């Protein structure tokens, strides 16, 4: 089952996956002070939760949201000093926390008390966790080669470097199930086109000959497969990527890319939105034993392929949550032949909410909390991929069959 707790500065969920505890935590500093003081406060808060839940020393993935991009170097030093040889795969994201603090932190800890759990820390950008015959490869903070110029070339360079990093562990890019693409000035112009469209062009070209999840999808599935993904803006002018890949023994895992019955699939958008459509699925579900994990892509107030409720952040937030609700629902899973694996908003274990305007924070948070309650949530200021979109939400959910 999912057990959730929240208090001042911290929220966390504990999920038992086939006998292994997964702790999803989000934290903001509870005090002011210097950047270093705030960073240590957030890290100690997460450390206390992990210790209490038996996952101390077992954080494998971490995302750090920064108010000031100039603090990346200081933040990396603080993280390395704090974690030492237990450094998680960490991505530094230039998105100001809506709470006004210097940073906020999201972390995943995996229970290491049993003999069946092994964690291999390759670097601060790559950590591999193995349990139950399944390896999870967490890849963080991939940036382009310094010599690459322009969004297209820098995106292609970052994709190639991510593939090279995975290859050091014998993992092909076709094993990627979830990506995050952080692009500065995402709706800005580059020459005669939009920067996000150039990212989509690069993603299309890089993915062209990759056959994602081949041999891993449910019997009879003949649909299109791409990783779940979030493409979101940042405060700087560059691109950073991260991903999760999966390697498993035969018959250990089945994958199902999910599409939303209320939305046109992103990869089928017309050229009106982008000459090369965004190549991602709305969610990636995977089953292992009696449990199902659902990675929900970045989702916004779009039905069919049109933006809804322009100018109204509350209605956009509720429409976005309606979309996620429909996407992960039992009704949608039944359409894929996966009866019994559906979930609800209450089955979210973690969420991120990207808000275009800081002034909309209170309304957006109230709408989210009214729908999914005490889910550990990061709220960050970030531009969304269409100028009229005011909010985007992503998350991780677990099937009702798993959490009962």
Q: Is 192 exposed, middle or buried (0-12, 13-18, 19+ CB in 10 A)?
A: exposed
CA of 244: how far to CAs of 40, 278, 363, 378, in Å?
27, 18, 32, 19
Q: What is the pLDDT of residue 113?
A: 52
- Could you say which DSSP state residue 225 is in? -
CA 115 to chain CA mean position, Å:
28
- Could you say which DSSP state residue 171 is in? -
The total number of structural domains that make up the chain: 1
- 49-84: b (≥16 Cβ within 10 Å) or e: bbeebebbebbbbbbbbbbebebbeebbebbeeebe
Tokens of 179: 């990506």
Structural domain containing residue 168 = 2-403
Tokens of 53: 């839940």
pLDDT in tens, the chain (404 residues): 688 988 888 999 999 888 899 999 999 999 899 999 999 999 999 999 999 998 888 999 999 999 999 999 999 999 999 999 999 999 999 999 999 999 999 999 998 555 589 999 999 999 999 998 999 999 999 999 999 999 999 999 999 999 999 999 999 999 999 999 999 999 999 999 999 999 999 999 999 999 999 999 988 898 999 999 999 999 999 999 999 999 998 889 999 999 999 999 999 999 888 889 999 999 999 998 888 999 999 999 999 999 999 999 999 999 999 999 999 999 999 999 999 999 999 999 999 999 999 999 999 999 999 999 999 999 999 999 999 999 999 999 998 676 64
Parallel, antiparallel, or unpaired for β 126-131 and 134-142?
Answer: antiparallel
């Amino acid at each position: 089952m999912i057990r959730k707790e929240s208090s001042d500065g911290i929220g966390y969920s504990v999920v038992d996956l086939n006998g292994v505890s997964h702790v999803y935590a989000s934290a903001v500093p509870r005090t002011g002070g210097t950047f270093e003081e705030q960073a240590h406060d957030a890290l100690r808060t997460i450390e206390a939760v992990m210790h209490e839940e038996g996952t101390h020393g077992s954080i494998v993935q971490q995302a750090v949201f920064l108010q000031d991009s100039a603090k990346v170097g200081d933040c990396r030093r603080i993280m390395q000093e704090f974690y030492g040889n237990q450094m998680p795969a960490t991505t530094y994201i230039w998105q100001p926390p809506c709470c006004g603090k210097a940073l906020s932190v999201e972390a995943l800890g995996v229970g290491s008390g049993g003999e069946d759990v092994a964690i291999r820390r390759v670097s601060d950008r790559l950590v591999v966790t193995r349990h139950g015959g399944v390896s999870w490869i967490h890849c963080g903070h991939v940036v382009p080669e310094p010599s690459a110029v322009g969004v297209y070339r820098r995106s292609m360079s970052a994709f190639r470097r991510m593939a090279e990093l995975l290859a050091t562990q014998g993992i092909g890019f076709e094993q990627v199930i979830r990506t995050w693409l952080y692009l500065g000035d995402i709706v800005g112009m580059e020459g005669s086109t939009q920067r996000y469209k150039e990212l989509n062009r690069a993603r299309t070209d890089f993915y062209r000959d990759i056959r994602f999840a081949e041999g891993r999808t449910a019997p009879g599935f003949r649909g299109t497969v791409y990783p779940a993904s979030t493409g979101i803006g940042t405060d700087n002018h560059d691109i950073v990527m991260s991903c999760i890949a999966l390697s498993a023994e035969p018959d250990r895992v089945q994958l199902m890319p999910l599409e939303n019955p209320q939305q046109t699939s992103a990869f089928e958008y017309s050229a009106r939105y982008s000459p090369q459509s965004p190549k991602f699925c709305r969610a990636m579900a995977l089953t292992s034993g009696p449990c199902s994990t659902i990675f929900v892509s970045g989702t916004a107030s779009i039905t069919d392929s049109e933006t809804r409720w322009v100018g109204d952040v509350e209605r956009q937030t509720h429409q976005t949550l309606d979309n996620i609700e429909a996407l992960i629902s039992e009704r949608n899973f039944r359409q894929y032949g996966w009866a019994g694996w559906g979930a609800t908003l209450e089955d979210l274990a973690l969420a991120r909410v990207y808000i275009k305007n800081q002034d909309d924070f209170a309304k957006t948070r109230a709408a989210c909390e009214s729908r999914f309650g005490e889910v550990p949530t990061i709220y960050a200021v970030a531009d969304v991929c269409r100028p009229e979109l005011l909010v985007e939400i992503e998350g991780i959910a677990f099937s009702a069959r798993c959490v009962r």
